[in-house]
Structure 1
């Protein structure tokens, strides 16, 4: 957890003032029992009413000063911890943005969400308590012991028994709680995952009548979290009664032995009252410390998980010596490229070599799992190749900055993702400063203008979360418009026409051919009709190239391609 406290640096002056105000508050509270002792021993015993008013008024001032110091320290501690949480969340989010898809696959989206929200909140809450209670409790305890010793040394022997018992109880509970708190955070991850899958996949769940199954799945994850939480709370719940028992027994012992010392003339009544208050302060300071220590294990578990994210170094980094391409055309070359997913038994693609020229359309076709999307994902460097090279305008993509490389690319993913906001905002996601005319033009090329104009607010119509208020085909067309508005040198379409009817598909490809005449276009598709007119078709089979050529050339030379064509087109259409 100490590693994370480096983010407190901007608030160091606030933290210093918290410590100063906490110190003043503690000194004031330690001084009050002594003033009360003087009122009893001098004012009450001797009947000195003016003295009682004088010291009583002074006690009121000290109490008000303590209250003001407490309010100020609490406010500054809250400001510091909330600011700390904001900075850590921002750093985590920025760091995660640099992750490759490999890191996302390794940690999981649900876990990253939990670490960015719940885990940071746990640390933030403990920081607030640490700045107040963990600082105040030791000062109160040590100061209370010193003041108690000043009143009666022999009576402090009561603490020799009470304090070790309390410390052992706290240590025992905390040592059992730490592993359980770690388990709780993992179970929150699991619950978050189940909820996220159930909600995002609600249409699939309902269509297959699996609502009851998902409910049971959620109940299992929730029950698992509940049982662990109950177990850890039972352990923690035993601490407070034990501490109160020790506190009350200590009070009885102090009054018992203090009364004997008063009888023998070794102590005054006011001193016994003050001693009892110091004993309460000492015990309550330990209780405060235990409250912090109860929360620390969970925060410690959370901080470990946060530090795991910070410690994860992105596998994709910009090279130390970056190169810039002298050409700005979009020429793509695959030179004997092989790539495997982490933990996979065999490569996803092997020994891939081809060239995609500017002004030409290269189509990639093949069976399910042939490696089509994998090949496309390597171009914007979502993953790095295991061997071989991918060159863009003659430069290895690993020698280009990721920002420079991706600025050349208009990418349409296999799963068309839209963001919450207006249609215009979603299209402008491809080019932030795109003018209204550019947005409309991109929508027209993507064959989206017609359905947009039919919506009540046109381009200002709001897209719901996940694009649930538009159809699959409409989502694909908006995703294509988002890529086209960039006017990129390279356009990558990952099965981006699958949800379109044949008429819209044909119109869109005709419009694209004219719009992207100067760009390098790579299309991944399942439909033969989508790729037939491409300048170059690459046929993949089990991660390897089975054939390269035009439609007619492949019909003569590539058996895999002939099988795909015959499975989709009639003999008349093939002819």
Structure 2
């Protein structure tokens, strides 16, 4: 809770003002039944109309002031809760930007989306209610009970029974529902994951006619959420019967005892009238508190989930005295082992000892799950090694400022991502200050200019979210051009020419050799034709180095490489190349 409330920032002032205005509103409301008793006792029963008029005017003024204070309290509550929501969104988003891949894996993307939407909305609604009702209800309860004690101490004792009963019932309900709501929001993550996966892969769903299967999967996730909500709301439904039991107990007790006290002459009619008003206020405050229990039960689960994200520290930490310049593109793996789950005993990479000179072109090949992507992720420090060290430019990557390192180690990942905006906007992700001419040169090197110039708006063509209006090969070439604009010391292509034809692939490699000869190039590929012209080729098998040599030597000496080569050539070659 403390972590969440720290995000109030400049909205603390609105929160304090709301509490003050609500307190003043309650004070005026509490005094009204007392003045009503005076009007009945000293005005109407004594036939003193002047006193009735004076107190009547006072009550009107107090009612108007109460209205003003209440309106101001509502405005401040809305401002403070909306401000808290905005600050929480910003704080979570900013913290997510610092996360490493392993941090994001821990929460999952749908889980983070739920926290930034459903959970924050719950906290916003609960906070608005709390700063108004949590002030209003207790103050009304205390002041009403004090006035009841002033009017009739003996009758006031029975109200304590009702209050104690409600505290026990509401407390028990809250303890149980807190656990259930914790499960509810985890189910929300599953529901969001189902929606996100379905919408992002809608083409595949349509192509394989899997709509019915996806509907059943969503219905199952929705039904699980429904069952938990019914269970939680079923327990919360006991609030109302408990409230009504306490309410009627107080009304019947006050009526029975009040009638006896009036007959005895120890209580006046005006006092009994005001006592009923205070009983109503007291019970209304208890009812508001019971509503608050529901909101707090839901929001506490959300508060915990939000706090988890805000408290999460990135696995990758900046060094105390970071290096900001990368000397060259040399890469050294010194007996590196790496596991995605530390302590699991299952390594993605084991004892990798590898040395690459600056400016070399290295091909990386191997079967699915052999550790190709894991290897290159360590070079730009998207993950940290479990054992050994990775050096770029002669220094351990953990000594560099991460931003400086990643600006010099440019990666075109397996999953190519484009963003909403023009082609130029997307290219300038690589270099925000790049001129249009520099963008065109990068596109020529990546063979992207061929299709861009066919668009009616050329480089001003708008790209839809995720690159939905360009083909896979076009998307890959745009991502390569974007990476080239960084003028990196190391360029990593993680299977990023898989969707382009062999001729275009060859043109891209030739452009690299011509335009960025001093840049170290690491090309991960599934087809031999993409890597056979590299200076050396790394063969990975189950996270270990199986071979590291030239194409010719590997054909002679490496069984895995020879098998891959022969299967591709004898199998008919690439799709656009004769066998």
- Could you say which TM-score interval applies, normalised by the shorter chain? over 0.9
SS at match of 2:314: coil
Offset of 1:9 from its aligned partner?
Answer: 4.3
Structure 1 match to 2:356 = 356
Cα shift readout 1:469-520 (whole Å, capped 9, x = no counterpart): 2111111111111111111111110000000012221222222222221211
Distance 1:522 1:437 in 2: 26
Distance 2:460 2:218 in 1: 38
Offset of 1:344 from its aligned partner?
Answer: 5.2
- Report how many residues are paired: 574
Structure 1 match to 2:409 = 409
SS at match of 1:538: strand
Structure 2 match to 1:256 = 256
Distance 1:135 1:109 in 2: 37
SS at match of 1:411: strand
Is 1:185 aligned to residue 197 of structure 2? Answer: no
Deviates more, 1:203-212 or 1:122-131: 203-212
Structure 1 match to 2:339 = 340
Distance 2:147 2:509 in 1: 87
SS at match of 2:497: coil
Offset of 1:345 from its aligned partner?
Answer: 4.7
Structure 2 match to 1:242 = 242
The change in CA–CA distance for 1:426 and 1:205 in structure 2 (over 3 A counts) is: same
Distance 2:324 2:250 in 1: 77
Structure 2 match to 1:331 = 330
Distance 2:397 2:391 in 1: 6
Distance 2:572 2:87 in 1: 65
Structure 1 match to 2:39 = 39
Distance 2:177 2:394 in 1: 58
Distance 1:324 1:434 in 2: 21
Structure 1 match to 2:464 = 464
User: What TM-score does the superposition give when structure 1 sets the normalisation length?
Assistant: 0.95
- Could you tell me whether the CA contact under 8 Å between 2:327 and 2:393 is conserved in 1? yes
Distance 2:169 2:123 in 1: 24
Distance 2:17 2:431 in 1: 47
Equivalent residue runs for 1:373-522 within 5 Å? 373-522=373-522
Distance 1:47 1:470 in 2: 89
Deviates more, 1:245-254 or 1:208-217: 245-254
Offset of 1:56 from its aligned partner?
Answer: 1.3
Deviates more, 1:438-447 or 1:400-409: 438-447
Cα shift readout 1:532-565 (whole Å, capped 9, x = no counterpart): 1111211212222222222222222222221111
Cα shift readout 1:318-376 (whole Å, capped 9, x = no counterpart): 22243455x63222122222212216553222222223233321111112222111111
- Could you tell me whether the CA contact under 8 Å between 2:363 and 2:537 is conserved in 1? yes
Cα shift readout 1:153-186 (whole Å, capped 9, x = no counterpart): 2221331332222222212221221111111111
Deviates more, 1:122-131 or 1:452-461: 452-461
Offset of 1:74 from its aligned partner?
Answer: 1.6
- Could you tell me whether the CA contact under 8 Å between 1:194 and 1:217 is conserved in 2? yes
Distance 2:445 2:324 in 1: 31
Deviates more, 1:530-539 or 1:491-500: 530-539
Distance 2:553 2:121 in 1: 62
Distance 2:4 2:570 in 1: 65
- Could you tell me whether the CA contact under 8 Å between 1:323 and 1:395 is conserved in 2? no
Structure 2 match to 1:550 = 550
- Could you tell me whether the CA contact under 8 Å between 2:334 and 2:352 is conserved in 1? yes
Distance 1:184 1:102 in 2: 25
Cα shift readout 1:436-464 (whole Å, capped 9, x = no counterpart): 22222222222222322333433232222
Cα shift readout 1:407-458 (whole Å, capped 9, x = no counterpart): 1122100011111222221111111222222222222222222322333433
RMSD: 2.0
Distance 2:154 2:349 in 1: 82
Equivalent residue runs for 1:187-206 within 5 Å? 187-206=187-206
Structure 2 match to 1:530 = 530
Offset of 1:95 from its aligned partner?
Answer: 1.7
The change in CA–CA distance for 1:273 and 1:537 in structure 2 (over 3 A counts) is: same
Cα shift readout 1:268-298 (whole Å, capped 9, x = no counterpart): 2221111111111111111111111111122
Deviates more, 1:165-174 or 1:4-13: 4-13
- Could you tell me whether the CA contact under 8 Å between 1:332 and 1:390 is conserved in 2? yes
Offset of 1:143 from its aligned partner?
Answer: 0.5
Distance 2:524 2:380 in 1: 15
Structure 2 match to 1:164 = 164
- Could you tell me whether the CA contact under 8 Å between 1:187 and 1:225 is conserved in 2? yes
Where structure 2 has 5 or more consecutive residues not aligned to the other structure, the ranges are none
Distance 1:441 1:282 in 2: 76
SS at match of 2:45: helix
Structure 1 match to 2:96 = 96
Structure 1 match to 2:566 = 566
Deviates more, 1:132-141 or 1:80-89: 80-89
Structure 2 match to 1:291 = 291
- Could you tell me whether the CA contact under 8 Å between 2:327 and 2:394 is conserved in 1? no
Distance 1:2 1:508 in 2: 54
Is 1:67 aligned to residue 64 of structure 2? Answer: no
Offset of 1:219 from its aligned partner?
Answer: 0.4
Where structure 1 has 5 or more consecutive residues not aligned to the other structure, the ranges are none
The change in CA–CA distance for 1:324 and 1:418 in structure 2 (over 3 A counts) is: closer
- Could you tell me whether the CA contact under 8 Å between 1:421 and 1:464 is conserved in 2? yes
Offset of 1:84 from its aligned partner?
Answer: 1.6
Distance 2:388 2:67 in 1: 70
Distance 1:200 1:543 in 2: 31
- Could you tell me whether the CA contact under 8 Å between 1:366 and 1:539 is conserved in 2? yes
Structure 1 match to 2:226 = 226
Distance 2:182 2:375 in 1: 39
Distance 1:442 1:245 in 2: 76
Structure 2 match to 1:214 = 214
- Could you tell me whether the CA contact under 8 Å between 2:316 and 2:384 is conserved in 1? yes
Offset of 1:133 from its aligned partner?
Answer: 0.6
Deviates more, 1:295-304 or 1:327-336: 327-336
Cα shift readout 1:175-223 (whole Å, capped 9, x = no counterpart): 2211111111111111111111122222222222221111111101101
Equivalent residue runs for 1:45-60 within 5 Å? 45-60=45-60
Structure 2 match to 1:19 = 19
